[in-house]
Structure 1
Amino acid sequence: MFRRRFRMRRELFLYIVDAVGIQSKYFKQRFDAAKRMGLSPLQKCIVAIRILAYGTSADIVDEDIKIGESTAIESVFRFCRAVINAFGGLYLRRPTNADVQRLL
């Protein structure tokens, strides 16, 4: 069910959540001003991946995951930044001449 919904293995998703949590303090669960536990890193990452993967609007994920529209938008922005910081050097690089030749 997880693989069908998110189009990735659960282990890969948890690896991304851990890497994003290391890069950004936003993806760590903290207490809010009322001394209640805030949103979990899983909730924030699920929202970001759903919005990016399916192109849904931020207010639609509120019904499923119970996150407000402004928090969903901020989660997407910070998720993208954290993914670039965590995986940019390895996966998001300019292709070399050898890469171009292999692709052609």
Structure 2
Amino acid sequence: MMHVNLMNNYFNPNSVYTEEDFRRHFRMRCYVFERLLRDVQQVNPYFQQKRDRASYPDFSPHQKVTVSLRMIAYGSPADSMDETHDMSESTFLDTLQQFCDTIIQVYKDEYFREPNQEDLNRLLRKVEDCGFPSMIGSLDRMHWDWKNCPTGWQ
């Protein structure tokens, strides 16, 4: 049932939520999600649809990728997945581990590598355009002071 709801809400034609809603909820565009889904399914059989011991469909690949991304994007606690995605804490943690391991395996050569000189030059130009020259040590720009920061965060 949760798979059907997920598909009707986000992935089927005439889904409940728009592409803009999808991007806001998943923190990525739908085609990026579909690429991740396809890539992890090709590499790791854990993300292929199976049946449990009672011959009922197991969690769908869409459900597994969705709960993993929700944990990463929102920092959702594992024990909250039983209420919203009908998945136990231990299953969710297994799914998250499988997802992270698979993402590293699939994308490590392209995205998880030491930057070369060309990468560094491009990044330096980008941060200089934002007014932060020579700021390669803090690409997320979190080292600058915010004068209106709430005192609890200072």
TM-score, normalization: structure 2?
A: 0.64
- Alignment-derived partner of residue 41 in structure 1: 61
1:7 Cα offset (Å): 1.4
From 14, 36, 58, the equivalent of 2:78 is: 58
1:96 Cα offset (Å): 0.9
What secondary structure sits across from 2:79 in the alignment? coil
- Alignment-derived partner of residue 24 in structure 1: 44
Q: Do residues 87 (structure 1) and 107 (structure 2) align? A: yes
The runs of 5 or more residues in structure 2 that have no matched partner are 1-20, 125-154
The runs of 5 or more residues in structure 1 that have no matched partner are none
1:57 Cα offset (Å): 0.6
Aligned letter for 2:63? Q
C-alpha RMSD of the superposition = 1.0
Contact 2:46 2:98 in 1 (8 A): yes
Contact 2:82 2:88 in 1 (8 A): yes
Identity across matched positions, percent:
38
1:101 Cα offset (Å): 3.1
Q: Which has the higher contact order (CA 8 A, sep 6+)?
A: 1
- Alignment-derived partner of residue 102 in structure 1: 122
Aligned letter for 2:53? A
Q: How has the CA–CA distance of structure 1 residues 2 and 102 changed in structure 2, closer, same or farther, with 3 Å as cutoff? A: closer
Write the distance in 2 (CA, Å) between the matches of 1:103 and 1:32.
48
Aligned letter for 2:26? F
Aligned letter for 2:79? D
Structure possessing the higher radius of gyration over alpha carbons: 2
Q: Do residues 13 (structure 1) and 17 (structure 2) align? A: no
